[in-house]
Amino acid sequence: MKKISLRIRIFLSMILLVLLASVLILVVTVYQYDEQTKDYNIQRFERKEATTKQTIELELKNKTTYPVNTENLSKIFQERIYEISSINKLNISIYDLKGKLLKSSTASAFEKIDTSPIPDNLMKELGQNSNHKILKTREENGIGYQTSYSFIHDPRFKRIGILELQFTQDNSEIEHELKEFMLRLGLVYILMFLIAIAIAYFLSSYITRSIKTISDKMEQTRLNKRNEKIILNKASSEIEILVEAYNHMIDELGESAAKLAKSEREQAWREMAKQVAHEIKNPLTPMRLTVQSFERKFDAKDLNAKEKLKEFSQTLIQQIDVMSSIASAFSDFAKMPTQKKEQIEMISVVKFALDIFNESYIKYLPEEEVLYANLDKTQLIRIVTNLVKNAIQATDKEENPSIEVKVLSQDNHVKLTVSDNGKGISDDVKDFIFEPKFTTKSSGMGLGLGMIKNIIEAYDGVISFTSEVGIGTIFTIILPKK
């Protein structure tokens, strides 16, 4: 008795769902109605604005006898401005290029004119706007205002003034229509709510929360995550059988997931061991041949014995260095980059990374003067260096090699591109380019792109590329600024 019955809970849930859907539909309807009203007012204003501008242009081009310049604008439209304002039902104001008022259609004995100049921020925004136009909208006490600022040009398209057009729209009638519509819609919702109560009452008799719980758990079951068992304190015998079967399946699924994870780890280690063994054998073979040759041909009494010994030592040292670099490369790849974040200036850091290269065909083309991001300076240098090295190797046989490095800002992200005109990447290997052991070079471990991919993804970034054989390759990196 302390527990609300399952039937009542399902009944109340369905009623709540219907009620919530009704409220959401109501909210969306009001929002859509308001947006359509705003769009209609703006479109209506734009039509009036276009007509007014055409009239003013014709006045300046064909009808005035005054020289068309800033000083004569107030004379040209001395009386004409009231006629244009009355026809288009707009308030018109004309300013000089510094924002000082020259003429306004609101000038009369009964109306007070705002003779203040255009604010500096609007003047600056108007000058920087690519369309040379600013549109402002606002609403006060149920009345909407649309105001636009644009330049006035003489017949030679020279700027001689600034045109302000203001249109007012009384939305009270539209709001009254909306209220009537909402009243009718409310009556429909009441009827629909009563019908929903009747339907929910009958449907709740055939649905149980226990079955719903089991189905939800089954939908959430995943092989690659830990799944929770179903625990029901009170349930019918049929439900208990389903719960026991589900929990048994979860136990078996957990065991299978553990075995699969173990198998994947072992396979990964086997692949890595094969790769390490293969790379170590490469320098061991010339070392063995060198030692055998030295043992067979070395003569302690030879006058050039010291030089031959030195040459032999250098050969062994070179091969040892190769093995050391192999070990370092695998160590670096296995080591996930630490997510050290500090504010760095991207433009200068990338330039610093490129300074180590002496190739004259490497071009740095930043699209920003200063660009800050929270990243690790060392890891960023590592990314740039690796990509540029790959580009140099891809263009080593080109007659006129070209490598371009670009940095730019994209909203809350930083975009870095490295492009070359090298041999390109064929379609049959594009899917393997970021795999740790993949390489198209005759030497090396093929770990470079795999390592920088790990670094980039550790910072929630993305690396991608586009390539065409014989044309070149472009690597693109997107990193968050914060």
Residue 137: pLDDT over 90: no
Same domain assignment for residues 55 and 106: yes
What is the rounded distance in angstroms from the CA atom of residue 204 to the CA atom of residue 414? 54
CB 143 within 8 A of CB 170: yes
CATH number of the domain enclosing 377? 3.30.565.10
pLDDT at 438: 44
Residues 368-391, mean pLDDT to the nearest whole number: 86
Q: What is the pTM of this model?
A: 0.37
Residue 205: pLDDT over 80: no
The number of folded domains in the chain is: 3
State the chain's mean pLDDT as an integer: 77
pLDDT at 377: 83
CB 347 within 8 A of CB 368: yes
pLDDT at 419: 93
Q: What percent of the chain has pLDDT over 70?
A: 72
Same domain assignment for residues 420 and 302: no
What is the rounded distance in angstroms from the CA atom of residue 346 to the CA atom of residue 481? 10
Same domain assignment for residues 358 and 389: yes
Q: What is the pLDDT of residues 39-51, one digit of tens each?
A: 877 888 888 888 8
Least confident stretch, 57-61, 326-330, 456-460: 326-330
Degrees, nearest 5: CA angle 467-335-344: 70
Same domain assignment for residues 49 and 147: yes
- Domain extent, residue 303, equals 274-334
Same domain assignment for residues 371 and 412: yes
Residue 236: pLDDT over 70: no
| Residue 274 CB neighbours (<10 A) | 11
Same domain assignment for residues 323 and 347: no
Residue 156: pLDDT over 60: yes
Least confident stretch, 222-236, 296-310, 455-469: 222-236
Same domain assignment for residues 168 and 103: yes
Residue 168 is given by DSSP the state: E
pLDDT at 176: 77
What is the rounded distance in angstroms from the CA atom of residue 73 to the CA atom of residue 101? 11
Hey, which residues does 416 pair with through a beta bridge? Answer: 407, 477
Same domain assignment for residues 73 and 159: yes
Residues 271-280, mean pLDDT to the nearest whole number: 64
Same domain assignment for residues 80 and 31: yes
